[in-house]
Amino acid sequence: MEIDIRELETYQELAHDGARSAAESLSQLTGISTRVQVTDVSLMSSSDLEYEFIGDEFAGVNIDLTGEIEGEVVLAFDEQGRSAITDKLVPADDPEKKKSSIKEVGNIMTSGFVDGWANYLSAKIKSSPPTYIQGTGTDILPTSTTDEDRHLFVFRSRVEASQEAESEPIDFRILLVPDSKSLERSLEPKTDKIVSLEKLEVFNDMTKEGAEKAAANITSMTGIETTVNISRLSLIPIEDIPTEVGSKRFVGTVMQFRGKFSGYLVILFDQPSGRAVVDSLVPMETEEQWGDIEQGALKELGNIMTSGFIDGWANVLNAEIKHSPPEFVADTGSGILTPVTTKIAETDDHAFVLDSSIQTNSDKVFTCQMLALPRRDELEQALDDLLVENSANTRIDPDDLF
Amino acid sequence: MDVLITDDSGFMRDLLREILEEDHNIVGEAENGVEAVELYREEQPDIVFMDIVMPIKDGIEATGEITDMDPGAKVVMCTSVEQAEQMKDSIKAGAEGYITKPFQKESVLEELNSIAAE
């Protein structure tokens, strides 16, 4: 199956408009002010999708779509969002009515999300009555995604909402998982910006393997057991990338890569994780929190992780991808990403973001996010040149050559 | 043996020094390819451990200059890069060995001993 990248960008924009419409519906119904943070379209495995809803308790609706677009929509509020809405709409202590209010709010919001698609396609998209869903992880996932582990195109929107009196923001997510036939119909090539879906899937798998190698390198250097829990390829407007990473403070490294395709690789540790890594690498007391020694250790780790991440691409593409020495960064996520996205925005309006998240096996203290931002046109050309039959050749043993 | 260590990371130079200095003489540490070439000219070490990704001049280019200057020079790439094309470029530049980071002490010493025995 071949897909038209420009059409995919149009659908991302439709999803963004749809999320805004859904958010406005929520504001009208409840008086809660809303802001769409980010909407992207991601290619990810169904097991990775599960992590969207891990940890917190969510409540919302699942709606089946039929017509021009077939598939499922899940709209889910976090616990804070659920109680803010139900407290507003059903002040009485009536659990059934509270559930019913979430169903109706979800139904109205989903209509707002889907109708723009139907209008764009000049076609009908019918929604089933909403099914109430509540829980975490697979309890919330669209049912079609839990049958088997496969690649899915998922339209993800994250909306932040806040009541004036509330200090903590609430958020809700909308996932649209179209079935493969209607997706193929919708993304039928109309321009010459065509990418093979099979190659995108291969590239996504290679990226996950690269992240696993990077995680193994962390373990080897620090002794901290790690695992990759999410790896996805997303198409996202460049201006939304800093927001996607958020206002949490991080330390890490930024590297530029160039060769078969060029771009940036950003490695972010939240502050406690960065400290844990440095303490493992440099087991001695130092006076500064992020002095030369600490920065040097993190830069070297970044260097080694980067190679682990990108070398597989180079080997499969039979090409070189060289990266620059790492630059140390310590700032909010958006503060770190803004200079990078400003550079990419000089030539592109959307970017493919390869996003992998690494955590410890033992506890949740350690998190590391790796974001690769290749130049879109160069990646499209590289994917065009990619030979699927080479996809197993990610690793090379130096002893075979020396 | 006289060893020259080349790596832009002080952390990695310290690690290599710790591994090597028990049995070998570290004649210098270079932070980039330019320094490596200069130090090689001055010190004429028996072996060079050479990183690839470095500022100013990368390790493959520096290896080429060292082996042009001294065709008998023994250079071991010590890098996180595991790309076939860059390994081939390293061979073309004259490198005789290749260690990938993160490494174990034993693999560094094995590589050094194997090159020394040639």
Shared-domain flag, residues A205 and A149: no
Which among B80, B85, B101 is the nearest to A319, CB-wise? B85
Shared-domain flag, residues A28 and A54: yes
Shared-domain flag, residues A177 and A238: no
Shared-domain flag, residues A38 and A104: yes
Shared-domain flag, residues A213 and A122: no
Q: For residue B2, what is the enclosing H or E element?
A: strand B2-6
| Residue A389 confidence class, pLDDT cut points 50, 70, 90 | confident
Shared-domain flag, residues A145 and A198: no
Give the CATH number, domain containing residue B50.
3.40.50.2300
Highest averaged pLDDT of the listed ranges A213-217, A357-361, B6-10, B32-36: B32-36
Q: Rounded to a whole number, what is the distance in Å from the CA of A324 to chain B's nearest CA?
A: 7
Contact B12 A308 (CB under 8 A): no
Shared-domain flag, residues A244 and A340: yes
A396 within a domain of the structure (yes/no) = no
Higher-confidence residue: B67 or A23? B67
| Residue A169 confidence class, pLDDT cut points 50, 70, 90 | low
What pLDDT score was predicted for residue A74?
92
Residue pair B62/B50 in contact by the 8 Å Cβ criterion: yes
Give the CATH number, domain containing residue A285.
3.40.1550.10
Contact A401 B10 (CB under 8 A): no
- Structural domain of residue B97, as residue ranges? 2-117
Task: Write out pLDDT tens, residues B13-63.
Answer: 999 999 999 999 999 999 999 999 999 999 999 999 999 999 999 999 999
Task: For residues A36 and A325, give the distance between their C-alpha atoms in angstroms, rounded to a whole number.
Answer: 36
- Structural domain of residue A276, as residue ranges? 194-388
Shared-domain flag, residues A254 and A198: yes
**Cα–Cα distances in Å, from B100 out to A402, B106, B107?**
13, 13, 9
A contacts of B101 (beta carbons < 8 Å): 217, 303-304, 307
- The helix/strand/coil state of A339 is helix
Domain final residue, candidates A162, A186, A210: A186
Q: Whole-number mean pLDDT of chain A?
A: 86
Return the structure tokens found at A20. Answer: 């805004």
Shared-domain flag, residues A156 and A203: no
Shared-domain flag, residues A179 and A307: no
What pLDDT score was predicted for residue A340?
95
| Residue A65 confidence class, pLDDT cut points 50, 70, 90 | very high
Shared-domain flag, residues A232 and A282: yes
Kindly give the residue spans of alpha helices, DSSP state H, lying in A2-135: 5-30, 46-49, 79-89, 95-121
A124 within a domain of the structure (yes/no) = yes
**ipTM summary value:** 0.82
| Residue A140 confidence class, pLDDT cut points 50, 70, 90 | confident
Q: Rounded to a whole number, what is the distance in Å from the CA of A299 to chain B's nearest CA?
A: 8
Highest averaged pLDDT of the listed ranges A30-39, A72-81, A138-147, B59-68: B59-68
A354 within a domain of the structure (yes/no) = yes
What pLDDT score was predicted for residue A365?
62
A395 within a domain of the structure (yes/no) = no
A contacts of B84 (beta carbons < 8 Å): 314-315, 318, 396, 401
Total count of domains within chain B: 1
B contacts of A325 (beta carbons < 8 Å): 8, 53-55
Domain final residue, candidates A145, A164, A186: A186
Q: Is B44 on the interface with A (CB under 8 A)?
A: no
Which among A281, A323, A402 is the nearest to B98, CB-wise? A402
Shared-domain flag, residues A291 and A384: yes
Domain final residue, candidates A165, A186, A207: A186
- Model confidence, pTM: 0.85
Q: For residue A151, what is the enclosing H or E element?
A: strand A151-162
Which among A296, A299, A304 is the nearest to B101, CB-wise? A304
* A166, pLDDT greater than 60: no
What pLDDT score was predicted for residue A30?
83
Residue pair A51/A160 in contact by the 8 Å Cβ criterion: no
| Residue A225 confidence class, pLDDT cut points 50, 70, 90 | confident
Task: For residues A220 and B46, give the distance between their C-alpha atoms in angstroms, rounded to a whole number.
Answer: 30
Total count of domains within chain A: 2
Highest averaged pLDDT of the listed ranges A154-163, A275-284, B65-74: B65-74
A77 within a domain of the structure (yes/no) = yes
A contacts of B10 (beta carbons < 8 Å): 292-293, 296
**Cβ-based neighbour number of residue A153 at 10 Å:** 23
Higher-confidence residue: A142 or B43? B43
What pLDDT score was predicted for residue A89?
86
